[in-house]
C-alpha cells in the first residue's frame, strides 16, 4: 500500500474517532443546565463567526478556587443555588461555581477547567467559550444579560455547549 | 547578479570562445538549473498551488457561513468524503503536476478544515494554538512523504508561525512569558516549543539550514529579549548573545556559493553596523524595565559565545572568498565582532566609544578585505560589496558627526554636493578596480 494512502487512512481515522467521541459526549447521559453568560461577537479564522462567551464561573468567588499562579487543570463544583432565568419554556435554574479542587469530588457536578492567565488576569476556561452561528443569526448581537448558555457534562467531565438561549 | 545568471553568462562566453560547444554549454546549464530547489516549479505550477490554496480557503468560508441546514453527521460525512477524495486524487495523479499540486495543497489544508468544522458543530473552544499544532501534526507525514517540497514548506512555515505567535503570545499552551509559564510546568512548555522548532527545521525541504536556522536565531533572540525564563536585561549580555547568534547563523548556514548565504552575511554586517552607534551610548541608559538577567539566560549567552567562537575557528568561513589569507582574516573578523561585546561589561562611556570605534574598524577591515580578495580572485561581486560597506560606514559617520551642523540651506547644499562628488569618485574607483581585474 502506498505510504501516502497510509497517511490518509490515519488522518481519516483521527477525524472519525474524534467525531465519534464528540457525538457520544454530546449525547452523554447527563443533565442539561444553564449558565449566566456575557457575549461579544468576534470571528474565528478557521471556523467563522461566533459569539465569545464570558461566564461568571470563569472567575469563581469561593475561597477554594484561589490557586495563585498554579496554572493548569482544576475541577469546579457547579450547583443550583437558587438563581433563575426566564426563557421561552419557563424559568430555569442558573448553576454557579461553589468549590474548586485539583481532583474531582464525588456526588456533585464537577466540571474540568483550565486555570490560565489572560489579558484580564487569571481565568478558568471550560472549552465552552465560543458559540458558532450563522452571520444572520440575531443572537450574534446579543448583549450581556440577554442570553443564557445551555450546557451539559460530556466525557471526561468536560462541559459541552449545546445552545445559546434568549431570556424573556 | 545571481549565481544562475552568472553561470549562464559564463557558459555562453565559454561557448563563444570555443572552449566548449554550445550543446555542452546548454547541457551544463540544464543540469545546474534543473538541480535548484524549485526546479520542477513552472509558472503553471505556482498558479496551480495558488488555485488549491484559494479553493481550500473558499471551502472553509462556505463551511463556516452556510452550513446550518444540514445535519451534523451529514456535514462530518461530507467532509470525510471530500478529504478522502481530494487526497486519493492527489495520490492517483501524482505524476501530473498541474493537477497533483493543487490537490496536494487542498489535502494539506483538509485537516484544518475538519478541525474548524468540528469546532463549529460542537462549539469547541480552548487553547488558540492547539488547532494549529494539531493541523501540523496531522500534515507532517504528508510533508515528509510527498515527493514535492510544497507540503514541506507549508508545514514548516505553519510551525514557525505557531512558534512565534504562541511563545510570544498569552493564554496558550506555548506561551513562554513569565506570567503564563511562571508556575505551570515551564519545562514542559519549553520542551514543546523546542519540539515545534525542531520539527519546523526538520520539515523544511532540501535539508537546507539557512532560512530555518535564521528563523530559529531570531526566535531565540526574541526569547532572550522578552519576559521569559531566559530573559536578559543587561545590555552587555544581550549584545554578546546577539552577536554570537549572528555569527552562529553565518557559520552554520548554507555554503558561501549559495545565494541563501547572503541573508546571514547581511545580518552580520547589520549587527556590526548597529554596534557602531554605541558611540552615543550612555552607561545605564537602558534600564531593561528595572529587571535583572535570569540565570538560564546568562548561561545561554555564555554557551552561545562558546559556540560562536568554536564555529568561527573550526567551521568554514562565510565572510570572504576562500583562500588561505582570507580564511585567517575572516575568522579573526568574526571572532572580534563577537568578543568586542566584552567592552560593554562594567562599561564606562569611554569603553562604549572604544566599542563603537572597533565596530567601525571591523566594517572597514571587512570592506577592504573584500576589495583586495575580489581584486585577487577577479570577483566583481566582492569588490562591489567591499566598496558598499566602506561607503555606507563613511557616510553614516559623516552624518553622525557633522549632522548637527546642518542648520542652514547652504549646509544642506554643501553636503549634497559632497555626497555627489563622493558617489562619483567611489563609482569611478570601483569601475577602475573591476576593469583592472578583468585585464
CA–CA separation, B132 and B171 (whole Å): 15
* Highest averaged pLDDT of the listed ranges A26-35, A118-127, B251-260, B294-303: B294-303
Q: In this complex, is the C-beta atom of A30 within 8 Å of any C-beta atom belonging to chain B?
A: no
H-state helical runs in B93-177? 97-122, 130-145, 150-168
Q: Which residue of B has its CA nearest to A151?
A: B123
C-alpha cell at B368: 577592504
pLDDT at residue number B298? 93
* CA contacts within 13 A on the Cβ side of B131: 22
Residues with Cβ within 8 Å of residue B196, at least 6 apart in sequence: B133, B136, B159, B162, B163, B166, B174
Q: What is the least distance, in Å, from the CA of A99 to any CA of chain B?
A: 21
**Percentage, residues of chain A above pLDDT 90:** 29
| pLDDT at residue A103 is higher than 70 | yes
CA–CA separation, B272 and B366 (whole Å): 11
Q: In this complex, is the C-beta atom of B409 within 8 Å of any C-beta atom belonging to chain A?
A: no
CA–CA separation, B64 and A46 (whole Å): 8
Q: In this complex, is the C-beta atom of A135 within 8 Å of any C-beta atom belonging to chain B?
A: yes
pLDDT at residue number B261? 52
User: What average pLDDT does chain A have?
Assistant: 85
CB atoms closer than 10 angstroms to residue A89:
7
Q: Which residue of A has its CA nearest to B121?
A: A132
What is the average per-residue pLDDT within A138-152?
A: 84
β-sheet bridge partners, residue A121: A118
| A2, A11, A45, A135, best to mutate vs chain B, most B CBs in 10 Å | A11
- What are the phi and psi torsion angles at A18 (to 5°)? -65, -45
Query: Cβ–Cβ of B80/A16 closer than 8 Å?
Result: yes
Tens-digit pLDDT profile for residues A72-81: 788 999 988 8
* Radius of gyration of chain B, Cα coordinates, nearest whole angstrom: 27
- What are the phi and psi torsion angles at B18 (to 5°)? 80, 10
Which of A3, A4, A48 lies closest to B64 in CB terms? A48
Which pTM does this prediction carry? Answer: 0.77
- What are the phi and psi torsion angles at B99 (to 5°)? -95, -40
Report which of residues B47 and A83 the model is more confident about.
A83
Q: In this complex, is the C-beta atom of A119 within 8 Å of any C-beta atom belonging to chain B?
A: yes
Average pLDDT, 10 consecutive residues per value, chain B (439 residues): 78 87 85 64 75 82 72 91 93 84 92 92 89 95 90 94 91 77 65 94 83 92 90 89 94 63 86 89 62 88 95 87 85 92 81 90 91 80 86 84 69 74 74 69
Cα–Cα distances in Å, from B341 out to A43, B244, B358? 47, 10, 10
C-alpha cell at B187: 519545562
CA–CA separation, B239 and B338 (whole Å): 9
* B38-47 CB burial, b ≥16 within 10 A, e <16: eeebeeebee
The answer to whether residues B219 and B167 touch, using CB atoms and an 8 Å cutoff, is yes
Query: Cβ–Cβ of B80/A3 closer than 8 Å?
Result: no
Q: How are beta strands A32-40 and A48-55 bridged, if at all? A: antiparallel
Which residues 45-74 of A have a C-beta within 8 angstroms of B? 46-50, 68-72
Q: What is the least distance, in Å, from the CA of A52 to any CA of chain B?
A: 9
pLDDT at residue number A119? 62
Instruction: Provide the ipTM.
Output: 0.83
The answer to whether residues B168 and B181 touch, using CB atoms and an 8 Å cutoff, is no
Q: Which residue of A has its CA nearest to B172?
A: A116
Query: Cβ–Cβ of A46/B76 closer than 8 Å?
Result: no
How distant is the alpha carbon of residue B399 from its chain centre?
30
Amino acid at each position: 500500500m502506498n505510504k501516502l494512502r497510509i497517511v490518509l487512512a490515519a488522518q481519516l481515522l483521527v477525524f472519525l474517532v474524534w467525531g465519534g467521541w464528540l457525538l457520544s459526549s454530546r449525547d452523554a447521559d447527563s443533565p442539561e443546565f444553564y449558565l449566566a453568560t456575557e457575549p461579544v461577537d468576534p470571528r474565528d479564522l478557521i471556523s467563522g463567526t461566533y459569539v465569545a462567551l464570558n461566564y461568571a464561573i470563569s472567575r469563581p468567588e469561593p475561597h477554594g478556587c484561589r490557586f495563585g499562579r498554579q496554572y493548569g487543570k482544576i475541577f469546579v463544583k457547579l450547583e443550583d443555588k437558587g438563581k433563575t432565568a426566564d426563557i421561552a419554556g419557563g424559568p430555569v435554574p442558573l448553576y454557579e461555581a461553589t468549590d474548586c479542587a485539583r481532583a474531582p469530588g464525588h456526588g456533585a457536578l464537577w466540571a474540568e477547567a483550565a486555570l490560565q492567565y489572560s489579558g484580564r488576569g487569571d481565568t478558568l476556561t471550560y472549552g465552552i467559550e465560543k458559540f458558532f452561528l450563522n452571520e444572520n443569526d440575531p443572537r450574534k448581537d446579543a448583549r450581556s444579560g440577554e442570553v443564557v448558555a445551555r450546557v451539559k457534562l460530556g466525557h471526561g467531565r468536560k462541559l459541552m455547549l449545546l445552545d445559546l438561549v434568549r431570556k424573556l | 547578479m545571481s549565481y544562475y545568471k552568472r553561470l549562464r553568462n559564463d557558459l555562453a562566453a565559454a561557448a563563444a570562445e570555443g572552449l566548449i560547444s554550445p550543446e555542452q554549454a546548454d547541457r551544463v546549464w540544464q543540469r545546474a538549473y534543473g538541480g535548484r530547489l524549485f526546479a520542477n516549479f513552472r509558472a503553471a505550477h505556482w498558479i496551480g498551488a495558488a488555485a488549491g490554496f484559494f479553493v481550500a480557503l473558499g471551502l472553509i468560508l462556505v463551511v463556516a457561513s452556510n452550513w446550518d441546514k444540514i445535519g451534523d453527521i451529514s456535514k462530518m460525512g461530507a467532509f470525510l468524503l471530500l478529504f478522502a477524495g481530494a487526497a486519493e486524487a492527489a495520490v492517483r495523479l501524482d505524476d501530473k503536476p498541474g493537477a497533483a499540486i493543487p490537490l496536494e495543497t487542498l489535502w494539506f489544508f483538509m485537516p484544518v478544515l475538519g478541525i474548524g468544522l468540528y469546532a463549529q458543530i460542537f462549539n469547541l473552544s480552548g487553547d488558540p494554538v492547539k488547532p494549529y499544532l494539531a493541523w501540523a501534526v496531522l500534515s507532517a507525514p504528508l510533508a515528509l512523504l510527498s515527493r514535492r517540497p510544497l507540503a514541506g514548506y507549508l508545514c514548516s512555515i505553519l510551525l514557525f508561525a505557531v512558534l512565534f505567535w504562541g511563545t510570544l503570545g498569552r493564554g496558550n499552551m506555548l506561551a513562554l512569558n513569565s506570567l503564563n509559564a511562571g508556575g505551570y510546568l515551564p519545562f514542559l512548555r519549553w520542551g514543546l516549543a523546542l519540539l515545534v522548532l525542531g520539527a519546523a527545521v526538520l520539515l523544511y525541504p532540501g535539508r537546507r539550514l539557512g532560512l530555518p536556522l535564521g528563523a530559529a536565531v531570531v526566535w531565540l533572540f526574541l526569547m532572550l529579549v522578552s519576559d521569559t525564563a531566559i530573559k536578559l536585561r543587561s545590555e552587555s549580555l544581550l549584545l554578546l548573545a546577539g552577536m554570537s547568534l549572528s555569527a552562529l547563523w553565518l557559520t552554520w548556514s548554507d555554503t558561501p556559493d549559495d545565494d541563501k548565504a547572503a541573508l546571514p552575511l547581511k545580518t552580520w554586517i547589520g549587527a556590526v553596523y548597529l554596534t557602531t552607534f554605541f558611540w552615543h551610548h550612555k552607561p545605564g541608559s537602558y534600564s531593561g524595565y528595572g529587571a535583572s538577567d535570569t540565570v538560564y539566560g546568562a548561561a545561554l549567552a555564555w554557551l552561545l559565545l562558546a559556540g560562536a567562537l568554536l564555529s568561527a575557528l573550526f567551521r568554514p568561513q562565510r565572510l570572504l572568498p576562500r583562500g588561505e589569507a582570507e580564511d585567517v582574516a575572516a575568522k579573526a573578523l568574526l571572532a572580534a565582532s563577537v568578543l568586542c561585546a566584552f567592552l560593554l561589561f562594567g562599561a564606562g562611556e569611554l569603553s562604549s566609544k572604544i566599542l563603537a570605534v572597533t565596530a567601525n574598524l571591523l566594517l572597514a577591515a571587512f570592506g577592504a578585505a573584500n576589495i583586495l580578495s575580489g581584486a585577487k580572485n577577479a570577483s566583481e561581486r566582492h569588490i562591489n560589496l567591499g566598496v558598499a560597506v566602506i561607503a555606507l560606514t563613511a557616510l553614516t559617520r559623516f552624518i553622525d558627526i557633522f549632522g548637527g551642523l546642518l542648520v542652514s540651506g547652504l549646509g544642506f547644499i554643501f553636503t549634497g554636493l559632497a555626497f555627489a562628488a563622493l558617489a562619483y569618485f567611489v563609482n569611478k574607483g570601483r569601475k577602475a578596480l573591476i576593469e583592472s581585474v578583468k585585464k
